[in-house]
Amino acid sequence: MAKPSRRRRGVTTIEDVARAAGVSAMTVSRVINRGKNVRESTRAAVLEAIEQLNYSPNTAARSLAAGQATHIGLLYANPSAAYLAQFLIGALHAARSAGVHLVIESCESEDADEQAEVTRRFASSDVEGVVLPPPLSESQPIMAELDAMGIPAVTVAMGSPREDSLNVRIDDHAAAMEMTRHLLDLGHRKIGFIKGHPNHIASHDRYRGFCDALAEAGLDADKAPAEQGYFSYRSGLTAGERLLARADRPTAIFASNDDMAAATISVAHRMGLVVPDDVSIVGFDDTALATSVWPELTTVKQPISAMAEAALELLIADLRSRGGGAPRKFTERVLSHAMIIRESSGPPAGAKKVKKARALRNA
């Protein structure tokens, strides 16, 4: 028998692959990593061996030997639970592929000092980089503190990132335009808007997208009724009431997120209005709430998991490149959104025939 090794039962190691491919372990390592300075034929042989043996490198050994990043921080603050869950799933996925541990910490406080304090705690726990999903991606104190400590960060869904920082987002402006066009296409001309929290750059992008789509259709965006909201359900109640109480009640309302859209639906019901027959109401984000209300919300879906994955990839690539001195390749990534048409949007009351015609056409 072979030496009484401590090796675990039949796990294939880089050594096995090397033997199978007739090269040294180092060459296999090179193929797996940078892949530079390896002859094409050798690479092919190694890749084939890897495939054959179904080999996957041991992340523990890898990070130990390379002394690479092993812990990525994730600082979050009460986004919706649905958002967080999606985000975590994506982040975990990316973390696993990279062989990195995710260290997650919450930071609910909006106080600058406390945010800095939480941030500092990260530094002392060996975190090599930090991911900031919204709303923390907009937090000036946190970014400043991370900068001061030399810890790189990647922000997610931040409207106007600084030139030199890493950022992942969707095109809020384009998405809002698309949603507005959807309402226009249905025949709506009096469309109300509920703005998001003014601190979030995305809020402004969405509102601009709304206005631009109206302008594109030859309507006067300034005349469109817009109420200030703050992304919360409660703020949606107030804003929704104002819009629906107007003498020239809009036939459609575009809320900057699902919570406020859901609140508006509830207001409409209380006023005896039928959605979408009397008023169409659409949201943004496609959170769980979107399907927990009746009728279910037409909304915009962000690829949250994919965004989290992209964020980690960006960050890890950056971390690895720091040693190599090579400048980072990307500092921003824009992922694509999707329109989710459900039951809360439909043609305005005067256009029943259009609805029928469409239904027939689609059938």
Partner DNA sequence: ATTTTCTGTGTTACCGCTAACAACGAGGGC
Partner DNA sequence: GCCCTCGTTGTTAGCGGTAACACAGAAAAT
Q: Which chain residues interact with DNA by CB under 7 A?
A: 3-8, 11, 13-15, 23-30, 32-33, 36-39, 41-42, 55, 57-58, 61-62, 64-67
25: partner contacted, choices a copy of itself, DNA, none (Cβ within 5-8 A by kind): DNA
Q: Which residue has the tokens 């600084």?
A: 162
Q: Does position 150 bind a copy of itself by CB under 8 A?
A: no
The residues, any chain, with a CB within 8 Å of residue 9's CB and separated by 6 or more, are none
3-class secondary structure, 255 = strand
Minimum CB separation of residue 22 from DNA in Å reads: 7
Asked if 206 contacts 264 with a C-beta cutoff of 8 angstroms, the reply is no
Q: Does position 96 bind a copy of itself by CB under 8 A?
A: yes
Minimum CB separation of residue 194 from a copy of itself in Å reads: 16
Among residues 258 and 318, whose Cβ is nearest to DNA?
318
Minimum CB separation of residue 152 from DNA in Å reads: 18
Q: What is the dihedral of CA 139, 166, 320, 16, to 10 degrees?
A: 100
Q: Does position 320 bind a copy of itself by CB under 8 A?
A: no
Q: Which of 81, 148, 334, 349 binds a copy of itself (CB under 8 A)?
A: 81
Minimum CB separation of residue 163 from DNA in Å reads: 29
Q: Where are the beta strands (DSSP E) in 144-231?
A: 153-156, 166-170, 191-194, 226-227
Minimum CB separation of residue 259 from a copy of itself in Å reads: 7
Q: Does position 233 bind a copy of itself by CB under 8 A?
A: yes
CA distance 278 to 281: 10
Q: Does position 354 bind a copy of itself by CB under 8 A?
A: no
* DSSP 8-state code for residue 149: H
Q: Which of 13, 42, 59, 228 binds a copy of itself (CB under 8 A)?
A: 59
Concatenated DSSP letters for 22-72? TS-HHHHHHHHTT-TT--HHHHHHHHHHHHHHT----HHHHHHHHT---EE
Among residues 42 and 58, whose Cβ is nearest to a copy of itself?
58
Minimum CB separation of residue 67 from a copy of itself in Å reads: 5
Concatenated DSSP letters for 77-145? ----HHHHHHHHHHHHHHHHHHT-EEEEEE-----HHHHHHHHHHHHTTT--EEEE-TTGGG-HHHHHH
336: partner contacted, choices a copy of itself, DNA, none (Cβ within 5-8 A by kind): none
Q: Does position 218 bind a copy of itself by CB under 8 A?
A: no
Minimum CB separation of residue 343 from DNA in Å reads: 51
Asked if 191 contacts 250 with a C-beta cutoff of 8 angstroms, the reply is yes
Helix-then-strand count for the chain, H and E: 14, 12
* DSSP 8-state code for residue 350: G
Among residues 27 and 238, whose Cβ is nearest to DNA?
27
Q: Does position 103 bind a copy of itself by CB under 8 A?
A: yes
Q: Which of 24, 56, 109, 199 binds a copy of itself (CB under 8 A)?
A: 56
Cα 236 to the center of its chain, rounded Å? 23
Strand order in the sheet with 226-227: 226-227, 191-194, 252-255, 280-282
Q: Which of 19, 43, 101, 181 binds a copy of itself (CB under 8 A)?
A: 101
Q: Which residues pair with 137 in a beta bridge?
A: none
Among residues 3 and 361, whose Cβ is nearest to DNA?
3
Among residues 62 and 189, whose Cβ is nearest to DNA?
62
Among residues 6 and 361, whose Cβ is nearest to DNA?
6
